[in-house]
Amino acid sequence: MLLVGCRKRLWCALSFLGAVSGYRVGSAWFGSSVPQTEFELRESKVVSQSNMKIELLPALSDNYMYLLIDEETKEAAIVDPVQPQKVVDSVKKHGVKLTSVLTTHHHWDHAGGNEKLVKMVSGLRVYGGDSRVGAVTQRVSHLTTFQVGSLHVKCLFTPCHTSGHICYYVTKPNSSEPPALFTGDTLFVAGCGKFFEGTAEEMYKALIEVLGRLPPETVNTLEAVYLFNANIKGS
């Protein structure tokens, strides 16, 4: 697994397997799992493939949002838009149409911007696996599928951090390029999310039986990844 990214309190990584090794973001290279300085990735970064583009958007003091763009149709989705104005600014910059919100779970630092964003952008479809997700319009469950432009999105139910946690697996039909996976707070660089609403057995199933069975070339966008020392100590 190829990792890059960091933040002041939380480690946030965009992880690629295979095709983009050697890509440089900030002071770190894809291909190295060694974190660099803590502040160099607090600006937005874009990683592109021919079929999709992902922009990492810094949010709050220690988090990231992800703008997913279908390069064929210029349709876009935002993952966990806690700061809506930054999302709208990025959408305008790329000249794309925002149609969907992919919410991994209901915690405020992931879903807290949903209700404001739907007022700023009309017609949004808000996906989530929990009735507590703000402004949700499309309740999803394990293996629910939908489209973002020509991109195919599959929902993976990974309860434990929260009882309704969803990861989003994104592929382009008939493409040889790696798929993408948005893991929310299920999978971190140095471990997994806290068991706020679940059990160790549920987390094991999520990591080993669900995420662990995805193709090895999957592009993994690891979200709120807690500081290595704190996470390893289990705090």
Domain positions in the chain: 44-232
What span, in angstroms and rounded, lies between the C-alpha atoms of 144 and 125? Answer: 14
Q: How far apart are CA 187 and CA 222, in angstroms?
A: 7
Range list of β-strands (E), 114-215 = 125-128, 138-139, 145-148, 151-157, 166-171, 180-182, 187-188, 191-192
Q: Which residue bears the tokens 């949004």?
A: 124
Distance CA 204, CA 210 (A): 9
* Token output for 190: 């140095």
Alpha-carbon gap, residue 198 to 183, rounded angstroms: 16
CATH for 44-232, among 3.40.50.300, 3.60.15.10, 3.40.50.2000, 3.40.430.10?
A: 3.60.15.10
Q: Are 67 and 54 in contact (CB under 8 A)?
A: yes
pLDDT digits (tens, 9 = 90+) for 127-171: 999 999 999 999 999 999 999 999 999 999 999 999 999 999 999
pTM for the full model?
Answer: 0.80
Lowest mean pLDDT among 39-43, 78-82, 125-129, 210-214: 39-43
| Chain segment 72-124, per-residue pLDDT in tens | 999 999 999 999 999 999 999 999 999 999 999 999 999 999 999 999 999 99
Closest among 168, 131, 129, 162 to 146, alpha carbons compared? 168
Residue 22 CA: distances (Å) to CA of 4, 45, 156:
11, 15, 29
